[in-house]
């Protein structure tokens, strides 16, 4: 993901008054996380996770707040955030479906899953449905190859998927 | 001879001794009841260098992919200077087709934690980070809980039974990755731990000298550390009674294949899963006995025997022994993660090569030109071949690009590019005729052009 280019410095950042980095997260990091590492920068990834777990994505304002809290330039935190596939710098669906496309899953028929999901949701990989419910991601091995083909729906792993049972899983979500 | 008793999976029900369905997480209490943490008690009473000697004598080799001797790695540490020294446990497990460390993490976290604690004593490390890949959500919660239990029972933290190390109470923290294969590479892992993008570092300096936060650091795989408690309990000779041993006639300084190993079998077999066997078990035994054979209507054609980065075993290499010499004997990069994925007769090798190339082009961190550009080109060419638009020249180009990539040809910083090289090159070489057929359209074109 290293060569994703960013908007130039003239870009407008949407801002709101209420901070994304809440007082609770700050307190937790000050008490529990900072003592774990010799540097504050080492808290970058844990902090980005904490913010994203709360808001489901990382707005630029949140990156700036994280940077200020960690006493780093915003560009340094942005550099880290853009490198990792799990961090979303744009809003995403309430449910993110991560379908594994690596070898074991391809051998066991991941194609049928992606076809079914795309057809049912009306989106392709790396897109979000208009109602903001689903984001579909094609990803590499998620470490559950014995249950190929498999997918994560948010934090929950589903194994031995077929076009049928994947439909049931979708229907079971609000 | 099949393994009589499991070593690593003693507490994790696994065929033929138990049933996958009976697997559940062992708590601290369950683990101690089963005899756990006795090895740590023993280690607490030993001089650190004596523990190191046992691990060295056992010739325990790393289970994370490269097979580097653990005892030797541990002995690279410089003398203590009073400052912090770190352990980073590699649970990034992102190699395609690899799913062995998650079994230990989910079901027997304390065997791993005990190994971590013993390593911290042996190497005099005060702070450990368990770097677990971002997608292991369930495992993360379980391991976080196991760490809490270990603190509550005096393994870590103030008053730890390990005592102070480098004048500090020992600590173990969990660190969650965020979806990047490259962070499994040890120096990328350290960068990520420091809060940066996962760009591998140029070596030297090696991590044992200047690793996390510029301080001496040991990086080991989860399975490597989980093997340490049984080694310490039963001794080096006992450990060396398992496995394939040293290649015949080799002098004692040649690295050998001792002990058991976790093998994660996936693909169209009847009972895929993570099993334990002697190093040196054949692929055929793993498929037919442990995996209970191929699914009806599927025949074995090839296997990624140790994650895709090691390359491939051919149809007539079905009986290859899964030990650290597999690379030399069967023309691939090595044992890797020892998690074989079986490719059945009806899956195209062009598709498999394309899948691998896509993986590397996507996961390359982008620092080195041969890896960043080469991976993309391999993917483009293989996609073209798969769609029927390839030419004979493309095959030559594939091999030329692949063989120019990697730290072994001396063009890149880390081993990711070697993986791309070996995956693509061994598939094309070992299944040349499939590739030839896929581009044979060109022959008709040229004939008609001549006519
Ligand atoms: C691209 C790349 C990815 C790697 N991924 C992993 C991984 O996910 N887990 C792992 O244990 N080792 C991985 N390794 C190997 C590590 O660099 C390192 O050798 C290993 O963690 C050392 O542990 P060991 O000696 O106990 O095997 C990877 C290496 C490379 C080059
Ligand atoms: S070989 Fe590839 S992944 Fe490794 S450092 Fe170079 S560009 Fe990054
Ligand atoms: S290949 Fe799909 S989970 Fe590993």
The DSSP result for chain A, as a single string, is -TTPPPP-TTPPPP--SS-SS-HHHHHHIIIIIGGGSSSSGGGHHHHHHHHHHHHSS--HHHHHHHHHHHT--HHHHHHHHHH-TT--SS---SEEEEEE-SHHHHHTTHHHHHHHHHHHHT--TTEE-TTS-EEEEEES--S-GGG-S-EEETTEEE-S--HHHHHHHHHT--
Question: Where does the pLDDT of residue B317 fall: very low under 50, low under 70, confident under 90, or very high at 90 and above?
Answer: very high
Query: Has residue A98 got a pLDDT over 50?
Result: yes
Residue B313 forms contact with A (CB below 8 Å): no
Q: Is B90 in the pocket of ligand 1 (CB under 6 A)?
A: yes
The complex scores an ipTM of 0.95
Query: What residue's CA is closest to ligand 1, atom 23?
Result: B220
Indicate the residue of A98, A103, A145 with minimum beta-carbon distance to B352: A103
Q: Which of residues 233-292 of B touch A (CB under 8 A)?
A: 264-268, 272-274
Mean pLDDT along residues B371-388: 97
**Average pLDDT along chain B:** 96
The set of residues, in sequence order, having a beta carbon less than 8 Å from that of B232 and lying 6+ positions away, is: B39, B42, B43, B51, B54, B55, B118
Chain A residues near residue B96 by CB distance under 8 angstroms: 102-104, 140-141, 145
Question: Where does the pLDDT of residue A1 fall: very low under 50, low under 70, confident under 90, or very high at 90 and above?
Answer: very low
Task: For chain B, give the percent of residues with pLDDT over 90.
Answer: 94
SS3 B287: helix
Residue B184 forms contact with A (CB below 8 Å): no
Domains and CATH numbers, chain B: 20-241 (3.40.50.11540), 257-344 (3.10.20.600), 349-438 (1.20.1440.230)
Which comes out higher in pLDDT, residue B29 or B447? B29
A101 in Cβ contact with A62 (< 8 Å): no
Indicate the residue of A37, A142, A146 with minimum beta-carbon distance to B266: A146
| Residue A45: both structure tokens together | 């990834």
Mean pLDDT along residues A47-60: 98
Picking from B153, B56, B63, B162, the residue whose alpha carbon sits closest to that of residue B110 is B153
pLDDT (tens digit per residue) in B269-292: 999 999 999 999 999 999 999 999
Question: Where does the pLDDT of residue B315 fall: very low under 50, low under 70, confident under 90, or very high at 90 and above?
Answer: very high
Q: Is B203 in the pocket of ligand 2 (CB under 6 A)?
A: no
Query: Has residue A156 got a pLDDT over 60?
Result: yes
How many Cβ pairs closer than 8 A exist between chain A and B?
152
Indicate the residue of B97, B178, B344 with minimum beta-carbon distance to A141: B97
Q: What's residue A8's pLDDT?
A: 64
B89 in Cβ contact with B70 (< 8 Å): no
| DSSP percent split of chain B into helix, strand, coil, nearest 5 | 45, 15, 45
d(CA B423, CA B307): 9
Q: What's residue A6's pLDDT?
A: 58
Residue B302: closest CA among chain A residues belongs to which residue? A107
d(CA B94, CA B189): 12
B96 in Cβ contact with B307 (< 8 Å): yes
- Expressed in angstroms and rounded, the spacing between residue B90 Cα and the centre of ligand 1 is 7
- Expressed in angstroms and rounded, the spacing between residue B231 Cα and the centre of ligand 2 is 35
d(CA A42, CA A60): 20
Which comes out higher in pLDDT, residue B282 or B408? B282
pLDDT (tens digit per residue) in A57-89: 999 999 999 999 999 999 999 999 999 999 999
Mean pLDDT along residues B42-48: 98
* Ranges of each domain in chain A: 1-91, 95-171
Residues in chain A: 174
Q: What's residue B425's pLDDT?
A: 97
Query: Has residue A38 got a pLDDT over 60?
Result: yes
Residue B196: closest CA among chain A residues belongs to which residue? A80
Residue with tokens 């042996």: B122
Q: What's residue A7's pLDDT?
A: 63
B425 in Cβ contact with B402 (< 8 Å): yes
Query: Has residue A126 got a pLDDT over 80?
Result: yes
Rounded to 10°, the helix A163-171/A110-121 angle is 40
SS3 B432: helix
Residue B218's beta-bridge partner residues?
Answer: B87
Q: What is the DSSP string of B56-123?
A: HHTTPBPSSSS--BHHHHHHTPPPP-SS--EEEEEE---STT--SHHHHHHH-HHHHHHHHHHHHHHH
Architecture of the domain defined by A1-91: Orthogonal Bundle (1.10)
CA of A132, closest CA in chain B: separation in Å? 22
Query: Has residue B356 got a pLDDT over 90?
Result: yes
Q: What's residue B263's pLDDT?
A: 98
Query: Has residue A153 got a pLDDT over 60?
Result: yes
Mean pLDDT along residues B397-425: 95
- For the domain with range A95-171, which CATH number is right: 1.25.40.10, 3.40.30.10, 1.10.150.20, 3.40.50.300? 3.40.30.10
Q: What's residue B14's pLDDT?
A: 97
Question: Where does the pLDDT of residue A174 fall: very low under 50, low under 70, confident under 90, or very high at 90 and above?
Answer: confident
Query: Has residue A2 got a pLDDT over 70?
Result: no
Chain B residues near residue A155 by CB distance under 8 angstroms: 137-138
Q: Is A141 in the pocket of ligand 3 (CB under 6 A)?
A: yes
Residue B192 forms contact with A (CB below 8 Å): yes
Q: What's residue B449's pLDDT?
A: 47
Query: Has residue B448 got a pLDDT over 80?
Result: no
Mean pLDDT along residues B361-376: 97
Residue A84 forms contact with B (CB below 8 Å): yes
CA of B264, closest CA in chain A: separation in Å? 7
B239 in Cβ contact with B231 (< 8 Å): yes
pLDDT (tens digit per residue) in A136-147: 999 999 999 999
- Give, for B141, the enclosing helix (H) or strand (E): helix B137-152
Q: What's residue B248's pLDDT?
A: 84
Q: What is the DSSP string of B398-421?
A: HHHHHHT-STTTT--SSTHHHHHH
Q: What's residue A3's pLDDT?
A: 53
d(CA A103, CA B75): 38
Pick from A111, A138, A144, A147 the residue to mutate for probing ligand 3's pocket: most ligand atoms within 8 Å of its CB: A144
d(CA B314, CA B301): 7
d(CA B306, CA B95): 9
pLDDT (tens digit per residue) in B79-136: 999 999 999 999 999 999 999 999 999 999 999 999 999 999 999 999 999 999 999 9
Which comes out higher in pLDDT, residue B434 or B448? B434
Question: Where does the pLDDT of residue A108 fall: very low under 50, low under 70, confident under 90, or very high at 90 and above?
Answer: very high
Query: Has residue A48 got a pLDDT over 50?
Result: yes
Query: What residue's CA is closest to ligand 2, atom 8?
Result: B365
């Amino acid at each position: 993901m290293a060569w994703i280019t960013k908007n130039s410095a003239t870009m407008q950042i949407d801002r709101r008054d209420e901070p994304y980095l809440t007082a609770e997260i700050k307190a937790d990091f000050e008490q529990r996380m900072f003592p774990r590492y010799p540097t504050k920068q080492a808290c970058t990834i844990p902090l980005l996770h904490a913010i994203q777990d709360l808001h489901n994505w990382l707005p630029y304002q949140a990156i700036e707040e994280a940077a200020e809290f960690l006493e780093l330039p915003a560009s340094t935190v942005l550099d880290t955030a853009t490198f990792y596939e799990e961090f979303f710098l744009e809003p995403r669906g309430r449910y993110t479906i991560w379908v594994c496309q690596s070898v074991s899953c391809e051998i066991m028929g991941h194609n049928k899953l992606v076809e079914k999901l795309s057809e049912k949701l009306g989106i392709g990989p790396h897109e979000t449905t208009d109602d903001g419910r689903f984001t579909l991601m094609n990803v590499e091995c998620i470490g559950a190859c014995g249950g190929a083909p498999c997918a994560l729906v948010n934090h929950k792993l589903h194994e031995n998927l077929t076009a049928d049972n994947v439909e049931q899983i979708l229907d079971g979500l609000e | 001879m099949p393994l009589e008793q499991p070593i690593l999976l003693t507490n994790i029900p696994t065929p033929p001794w138990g049933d996958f369905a009976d697997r559940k997480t062992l708590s601290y209490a369950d683990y101690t009841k089963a005899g756990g943490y006795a090895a740590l008690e023993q280690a607490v009473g030993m001089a650190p260098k004596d523990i190191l000697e046992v691990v060295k004598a056992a010739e325990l080799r790393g289970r994370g992919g490269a097979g580097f001797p653990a005892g030797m790695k541990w002995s690279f540490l410089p003398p203590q200077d009073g400052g912090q020294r770190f352990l980073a446990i590699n649970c990034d497990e992102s190699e395609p087709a690899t799913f062995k460390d998650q079994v230990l993490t989910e079901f027997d976290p304390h065997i791993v934690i005990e190994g971590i604690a013993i390593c911290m004593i042996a190497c005099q490390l005060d702070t450990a980070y368990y770097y677990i890949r971002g997608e292991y959500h369930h495992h993360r919660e379980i391991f976080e809980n196991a760490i809490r239990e270990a603190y509550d029972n005096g393994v870590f933290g103030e008053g730890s039974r390990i005592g102070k190390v480098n004048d500090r109470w020992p600590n173990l923290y969990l660190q969650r990755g965020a979806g990047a294969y490259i962070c499994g590479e040890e120096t990328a892992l350290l960068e990520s731990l420091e809060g940066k993008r996962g760009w591998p570092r140029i070596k030297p300096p090696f991590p044992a000298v200047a690793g996390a936060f510029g301080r001496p650091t040991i990086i080991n795989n989860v399975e490597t550390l989980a093997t340490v408690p049984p080694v310490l309990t039963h001794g080096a000779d006992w450990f060396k009674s398992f496995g394939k041993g040293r290649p015949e006639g080799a002098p004692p300084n040649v690295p050998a294949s001792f002990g058991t190993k976790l093998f994660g079998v996936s693909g169209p077999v009847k009972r895929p899963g993570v099993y334990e066997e002697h190093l040196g078990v054949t692929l055929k035994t793993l498929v037919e006995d442990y995996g209970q054979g191929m699914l009806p209507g599927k025949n074995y054609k090839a296997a990624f025997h140790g994650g895709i980065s090691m390359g491939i075993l051919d149809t007539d290499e079905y009986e290859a022994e899964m030990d650290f010499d597999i690379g030399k004997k069967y023309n691939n990069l090595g044992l890797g993660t020892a998690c074989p994925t079986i490719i059945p007769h009806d899956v195209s090798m062009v598709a498999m090569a394309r899948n691998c190339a896509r993986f590397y082009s996507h996961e390359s961190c982008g620092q080195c030109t041969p890896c960043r550009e080469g991976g993309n080109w391999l993917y483009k060419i293989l996609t073209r071949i798969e769609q029927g638009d390839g030419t004979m020249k493309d095959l030559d180009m594939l091999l030329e690009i692949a063989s120019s990539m990697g730290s072994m040809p001396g063009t890149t910083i880390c081993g990711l590019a070697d993986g791309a090289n070996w995956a693509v090159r061994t598939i094309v070489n070992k299944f040349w005729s499939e590739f030839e057929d896929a581009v044979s359209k060109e022959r008709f074109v040229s004939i008609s052009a001549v006519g």
